[in-house]
Structure 1
Amino acid sequence: MIRLEHISKTFRVGKNKIEALKDVSLEVNKGEIFGVIGFSGAGKSTLIRCINLLERPTNGKVFVEDRDVLTLNKKDLRKLRRKIGMIFQGYNLLETATVYENIATPLRLEGVSKDEIKQRAEKYLDIVGLTDRRNAFPSQLSGGQKQRVAIARALAHEPEILLSDEATSALDPNTTDAILELLLRVNKELGITIFLITHELNVIQRICDRVAVMENGKVVEQGSVVDVFTRPQQAMTKQFISNEAKFAIPVQLKGELLKTGKLVKLTFLGESSKDPVLATLAKQFDVLPSIIAGGIDQLKDQSVGNLLVHIKGDQSKVETAVKFLHEQDVLVEEVNE
């Protein structure tokens, strides 16, 4: 659906060059929700704007449905952009126009018939749950409602791809959840491919199928959300998804626990969460496992359980118990310091 090959983008600021993107390659499959995460300045916004050529790459190729976007003339590029909707953090609504007119005006400028405009506007207002606010002005709406209008406006063009540029970063947690649920519905019910960028881990966890992690203009890691979330390879990725905050315990207590046994972080996926692993340790290896901390993270299609466990007992038995854990369908990380 979308394929970026060795994309680079350099900006000139006075006499200086700024490399916003450095040899970025990734592929988005039709019908999936693909997320890009990174801290501010990582190059995310530049990357998403390269897809519809709001930013033209300095080097590399951009393919949408196997068409080389960079070779299109102005007329064909305009046609392609009609298939690509876009929503922004700042909503970009016309403050002097009603909700209905914010959706209808861009369609009118495209030459869509009056009857078709009315049909589409009503259809997508219903989808985003704002039929009763059709005559309201943006100043009368909450942030979440404004974003819903922006989504309805993008959908009214009936695109095949929806680009989301930090669409939830200005919203409170409850409103963010509601917008994410809406995007999931749009993806599932309308079959629209969604490409989003964010610095919020929960956005990736909740709705994305695959994710790329960006740092300093480069993609440092990418894969399925489950794989990247549970088996991060790069330091940058670990900063985003590390469970250290959940498992923070006083240094003195950690030292005491390490003197009497081992500390291990256990991650349970799918069927492994149903196995009585800790009970087996106590019964089979004559050790005493104690849960120090834990939590559950909800990904799009499954839950991931995390436990910080102290295993106390004879050193050799503890080592055997840890070896047993490594052999199970459980991800094990030993905490040594």
Structure 2
Amino acid sequence: MIKLNNITKVFPSKNGVVKALNDVNLHVKKGEIHGVIGYSGAGKSTLIRCVNLLEKPTSGTVSINGVEMTSMSQEKLRKTRQKIGMIFQHFNLLKTATVYDNIAIPLKLLGYDKKEVETRVDKYLGIVDLLEKKHTYPSQLSGGQKQRVAIARALSQEPQILLSDEATSALDPETTNSILDLLLKINEELGITILLITHEMNVIQKICDYVYVIENGDLIEQGTAINLFTNPKEKTTKKFLNTISQRKLSDSLIEQLKLNGTVTRLTFIGENTGQPLLAQLSHRFKVEPNILTANIMELKNGIVGNLVIHLVGESQEVANALKFLDDNGVSTEELEGKTNE
């Protein structure tokens, strides 16, 4: 559905040039939700704006449904963009227009007749649960309601792709969850492919099938949400995971505990999260497990559990216990104070 091939974007500056994106490759399959996560200045906003060519790449190609866009004429590009909806962090609603007109005006500019405009406005306000607000003004709405209007406006052109540029970062946690539930509903019921950018790991956790981690213009890690949550490779990815799960222990605590035992992170996936495997260790082996941190995270496509435990026992018994866990589908990682993320 969306293919970015070797995308590089360079901006001129007083001190030469700034490379916002460096040889980025990205492929979003039809009907999936993909997320790009990174800190401020990582290049993620530039990346998403390259998808609909609001930013033209310095080099590389952008293809939508197999059609290469970077060489299109402006007229053809405008028509293609009509199938790519976009929602923004700050809603971008007209303050002096009603909810109805905020959605209707773009449709009128595209040449739709009055009846079709009314039909679409009512249909998509119904989908976002705001039909009763269509004659109110943005100033009378909450932040979450404003974002729902913006989503209805994007949907009213009936796009195949929806781009989300930090759409929840200005919202409180409860409202964020409601907007994420709405995006899931749109994806499942309307079959719309979604590409979003965010700096919030809980957004990735809740709705994404696939994740890209971007840093200084480079895609440094990518994979399914399950894979990234269970086996992160890069330091930046691990830092993001630390914001939603208790994965991190202090170096000094790890060093202290390792004097008389082993500190290990266990990762459980799916059905293994409900198995009493840890309870079996002390019965099967001469070890004493002590739980230091624990959590269970529900992702869009599965459940992941994390435990950090302190195992006390003879080295061979500890090794046998860890092998038992590995054999039962539990990933184990011995933590070292110097390398703990």
State the TM-score bracket (shorter-chain normalisation).
over 0.9
- Does residue 137 (structure 1) correspond to residue 137 (structure 2)? The answer is yes
CA distance in 1, matches of 2:84, 2:145: 22
The equivalent residue for 1:109 is 109
Q: Which runs of 5+ in 1 are unaligned?
A: none
Alignment of 1:11-26 (within 5 A): 11-14=11-14, 16-26=16-26
* Map of 1:77 onto structure 2: 77
**Matched position secondary structure for 1:168:** coil
What value does the CA root-mean-square deviation take over the aligned residues? 1.6
**CA distance 1:253–1:216, change in 2 (3 Å):** closer
Tell me the equivalent position of 1:161.
161
Aligned to 2:210: 210
Greater displacement, 98-107 / 7-16: 7-16
User: Partners in 2 of 1:135 and 1:88 — Cα distance?
Assistant: 22
Q: Name the structure 2 match of 1:280.
A: 280
SS of the equivalent of 1:71 reads coil
Cα deviation for residue 252 of structure 1 reads 6.1
Displacement of 1:336: 3.0
Conserved in 1, the CA contact under 8 Å of 2:5 and 2:24? yes
Looking at structure 1, the residues matched to 66 and 16 of structure 2 have their Cα atoms a distance apart, in angstroms, of: 35
Structure-1 residue corresponding to 2:93: 93
Distance 1:81 1:252, change over 3 A: closer
Question: C-alpha distance in 1, partners of 2:313/2:269?
Answer: 27
- Aligned partner of 2:266 in structure 1 is 266
Structure 1 residues 61 and 251, CA, compared in 2 at 3 Å: closer, same or farther?
closer
Match of 1:199 in 2: 199
Counterparts in 2 of 1:235 and 1:253: CA distance versus 1, 3 Å: closer
Higher mean displacement: 227-236 or 151-160: 227-236
CA distance in 2, matches of 1:273, 1:66: 41
What TM-score comes out, normalization by structure 1 length? 0.96
Shift of 1:241: 1.6
Q: Distance in 2 between the 1:250 and 1:241 partners?
A: 16
Answering whether residue 162 of structure 2 is matched by residue 178 of structure 1, we say no
1:54-65 map, 5 Å:
54-65=54-65
Structure 2 Cα separation of the partners of residues 81 and 166 of structure 1: 20
1:184-243 superposed Cα distances (whole Å, 9 cap, x missing partner): 000000000001000110001100000111010011111111111211112222221248
Q: What is the rounded CA distance, in whole Å, between the counterparts of 2:172 and 2:252 in structure 1?
A: 37
**Distance of aligned partners of 1:228 and 1:90 in 2 relative to their CA distance in 1, 3 Å threshold:** same
Write the letter of the residue equivalent to 2:14: G
Q: CA deviation at 1:261?
A: 1.8
Residues 160-169 or 312-321, more deviating: 312-321
**What is the rounded CA distance, in whole Å, between the counterparts of 1:140 and 1:194 in structure 2?**
29
Q: Alpha carbons of 1:283 and 1:230: their partners in 2 closer, same or farther (altered >3 Å)? A: same
Q: Give the drift of 1:155.
A: 0.2
Aligned-partner residue type, residue 224 of structure 1: T
Deviation, structure 1 residue 325: 2.4
Please give the alpha-carbon distance, in whole angstroms, between the structure 2 residues aligned to 1:144 and 1:27: 30
Name the residue aligned to 1:314: 314
Provide the rounded CA distance (Å) in 2 between the counterparts of 1:218 and 1:114.
46
Check conservation: 2:201, 2:243, Cα contact below 8 A: no
**1:295 corresponds to which letter in structure 2?**
N
Alignment of 1:188-267 (within 5 A): 188-242=188-242, 246-248=246-248, 254-267=254-267
- TM-score under structure 2 normalisation? 0.95
Mark the CA change 1:252 to 1:218 in structure 2 (over 3 Å): closer, same or farther. closer
In the alignment, structure 1 residue 128 sits paired with structure 2 residue 135: no
Residues 247 and 241 of structure 1, relative CA distance in 2, 3 Å threshold:
closer
Contact 2:202 2:244 in 1 (8 A): no
Is contact 2:89–2:168 with CA below 8 Å preserved after alignment?
yes
User: What residue is the counterpart of 2:151 in the other structure?
Assistant: 151
Aligned length in residues: 337
Between the aligned partners of 2:133 and 2:219, the Cα distance in structure 1 is: 41
The CA deviation at 1:254 is: 4.1
The residue type equivalent to 1:262 in the other structure is T
CA distance in 2, matches of 1:124, 1:4: 30
Aligned equivalent of 1:48: 48
2:289–2:311 Cα contact (<8 Å) kept: yes
Distance 1:4 1:278 in 2: 44
Contact 2:2 2:27 in 1 (8 A): yes
Summarize the Cα distance change of 1:11–1:336 in structure 2 as closer, same or farther, 3 Å threshold: closer
